[in-house]
Amino acid sequence: MGMAFDEEAVSRDLTEKVNTLLAENDPNSVSVSDFLGARFDAGLAWVHFPEGHGGLGVPQSFQRQVNAQLEAAGAPGPATGKNGIGLGMAAPTIAAFGTEEQKQKFLRPLWTAETVYCQLFSEPGAGSDLAAVATRAVRDGDDWIVNGQKVWTSGAQNAQLAILVARTDPSRSKHAGLSYFICDMTDPGVDVRPLRQITGEAEFNEVFLTDVRIPDANRLGAEGQGWKVATTTLNNERVAIGSGAPREGGMIGKVAQAWRDEPELRNPAMHDELMRLWTESEVARLTGERLRQQLAAGQPGPEGSGMKLAFAGLAQQISGFDLELHGEAGLRYDDWTLRRPDSVDFTGREPGYRYLRAKGNSIEGGTSEILRNVIAERVLGLPPEHRVDKDIAWKDLPR
């Protein structure tokens, strides 16, 4: 951030601000929405965000202190399950690229979950290669008219707003001709259809956009800057998915607890494998903690791809171990009826569910194959893959 901070003074100030917030807004008597709104106004939502927009402009590392103090007081936290895309991806992107008016308009209702977000990025012909998106946005006065199809959209059925990447200039190269918008999901031209997964649920959707009108005031970043803005979103997404669990949190916590609670499941051969998985999970957790401590300005870089890659691989290995540990009981699947959950629960329900749900971890939030490319090129500095289409106008690319 380029600024020196007296850590002790900042810590004392934050403690006082949290005490004042709790004194003026008793968590036991005010509504969750009102408490979260007051927390935002006090600058305690994201302490590293700008003052007046949910933050205080101090390093992100102080957020843990604030969260711990509020949790100890029994205060409600943000709706991370319901609005994870908004909190983990849209908010930091709006903070980084939004105008003052956009920050004022979007951040507070996002924090209080008055507006729930989804992500309109991937398309049937542009999944791993996001820069190849074909959804078209055409300028019409002060608005843009958007037509196209998006896919794998988590939570679109519950969202009021979406972060959207669309092609605004097909005459430029595929990375250069994109722009980034905040789209109203209640527009009559938005059609959300469920996609049933291997778990039987439909967390994901395909979304059809027909003459959807988006004000230019809802464009984030400059026209044609969509790839740069989207990269910020994706880096935040990968950190959000790949890190943040406490010790023995997530999938390894489920397995370790079963090992302790059900001694009849144990055998010496599986003990060694469990210890290996536990150790790798702890290494990943500590690496994620170190990464978060490095994010003084609150904007993750490509290193987050490594965390997400590790998370996906470990989740799949551990869920497979979980299945074997439970033997025949692990094959039982309680409910395969079509459901539309409000949030994604990676570790919910029985071992069979967890095993099937983990299969998606290496696809969502960036495929493991693409993340290996990101790590190789942008973290390790290895020579990039040869890309013959990089400088060709998008309209001239074969499809």
Return the HEC string of the chain. Answer: CCCCCCHHHHHHHHHHHHHHHHHHCCCCCCCHHHHHHHHHHCCCCCCCCCECCCECCCCHHHHHHHHHHHHHCCCCCCCCCCCHHHHHHHHHHHHHHCCHHHHHHHHHHHHCCCCCEEEECCECCECCCHHHCCCEEEEECCEEEEEEEEECCCCHHHCCEEEEEEECCCCCECCCCEEEEEEECCCCCEEEEEECCCCCECCEEEEEEEEEEEEHHHEECCCCCHHHHHHHHHHHHHHHHHCCCCCCCHHHHHHHHHHHHCHHHCCHHHHHHHHHHHHHHHHHHHHHHHHHHHCCCCCCCCCHHHHHHHHHHHHHHHHHHHHHHHHHHHHCCCCCCCECCCCCCCCCCCHHHHHHHHHHHHCCCCCHHHHHHHHHHHHCCCCCCCCCCCCCEHHHCCC
Cα(67)–Cα(75) distance, integer angstroms: 9
Same domain, yes or no, for 213 and 128? yes
Same domain, yes or no, for 220 and 239? no
- State which residues form the domain around 219: 117-224
- Is residue 90 domain-resident? no
Q: Is 91's pLDDT higher than 90?
A: yes
Same domain, yes or no, for 237 and 331? yes
Cα(89)–Cα(67) distance, integer angstroms: 19
Top-confidence range, 55-64, 295-304, 339-348: 55-64
Same domain, yes or no, for 234 and 345? yes
Q: Enumerate the β-bridge partners of residue 208.
A: 149, 191
Q: What is the mean pLDDT of residues 343-372?
A: 86
Q: What is the CATH number of the domain that holds 306?
A: 1.20.140.10
Catalytic pick among 123, 203, 206, 237: 237
Measured CA to CA in angstroms, residue 290 lies from 237, 284, 300 at distances of 17, 10, 12
Of the residues 200, 224, 248, the one at which a domain ends: 224
Q: What percent of the chain is modeled with pLDDT above 90?
A: 64
- Is residue 396 domain-resident? no
State the total domains in the chain: 3
Q: Is 105's pLDDT higher than 70?
A: yes
Cα(304)–Cα(115) distance, integer angstroms: 27
Band of residue 394 on the pLDDT scale cut at 50, 70, 90: confident
Q: Is 50's pLDDT higher than 80?
A: yes
Cα(358)–Cα(354) distance, integer angstroms: 6
pTM: 0.87
- Is residue 372 domain-resident? yes
Q: Is 237 a catalytic residue?
A: yes
Q: What is the mean pLDDT of residues 313-340?
A: 90
Radius of gyration of the chain (CA): 22
